[in-house]
Structure 1
Amino acid sequence: MSDREEFLTWLGGDYAAAERAMMSGDDGPRRAIWSQTEPVSVLGAWRNAVGRAALVEAFEVLTTSFSDCTDWAFDLISYDVVGDLAYSVGYERMTASVDGEPRTFTLRVTQVYRREGDAWRVVHRHADAA
């Protein structure tokens, strides 16, 4: 399997599962796919964070708002893998409850990833409402 194929498999597997869990109020899988190694950062649609401690806090706060994800999809527009770094650009489309109210929304998302050992890890996320 090529590096690009391996990355796409991870993106459609562990990454997608972590985001679905996050939108259902479980940040554990999302924490697991994020790098433990600094620097990490989020410029988010709901919250920003720089550094692992701030990132974990942001995820914990977000889990109190999200629940009942019934649909989540990532429409990949562009991506590349160069050595141990990768990026992706696309739209995350989801239906979940936000503060108890069912909503359907779309986020524009650009992310940067780093291969650490034998796994891909997210190191930066920028998301905003489409």
Structure 2
Amino acid sequence: MRHLLALAIKFVMVTAVLLLVLTVGFDVPFVDTLLISLALTALSYAMGDIMIFLNAGSPENQSTRNTVATFVDFVMAFLTIWLIGWLLTGQNFEMVTPALLSALVISGGEWFFHLYVDRSVVPEYNNYKAVKR
């Protein structure tokens, strides 16, 4: 259940950023933005938040793990937004700027999302006291 809530939070964060940058700022169709959001949320949660963030260093060294995972999330977000945006819109070079802007904002949010994952989704990893539900 904690993972489902984390996925929902991440989807809302990613979708809000992409709607503002892609749809409002660069006229990418709404449906295309939602498809990119779904793909990016699933990919970055599985790879960036679970695989890389939890395994990029020792549990005690949260700052290093967060830095590595945030950088990987930036690269993954840029490539995913650019590639899927290109495939959906047919615009190759026109998608570079919105993908870069989106990836920068999303990776900023990812820094704080990793803190949430560490404390509330997998508290046993760092021996945090589990959040009472």
For the criterion TM > 0.5, the same-fold answer is no
Structure with greater proportional strand content = 1
With a CA cutoff of 8 Å and minimum separation of 6, indicate the structure with the bigger relative contact order. 2
Give the TM-score taking structure 2 as reference length: 0.29
**Which structure's CA Rg is the greater one?**
2
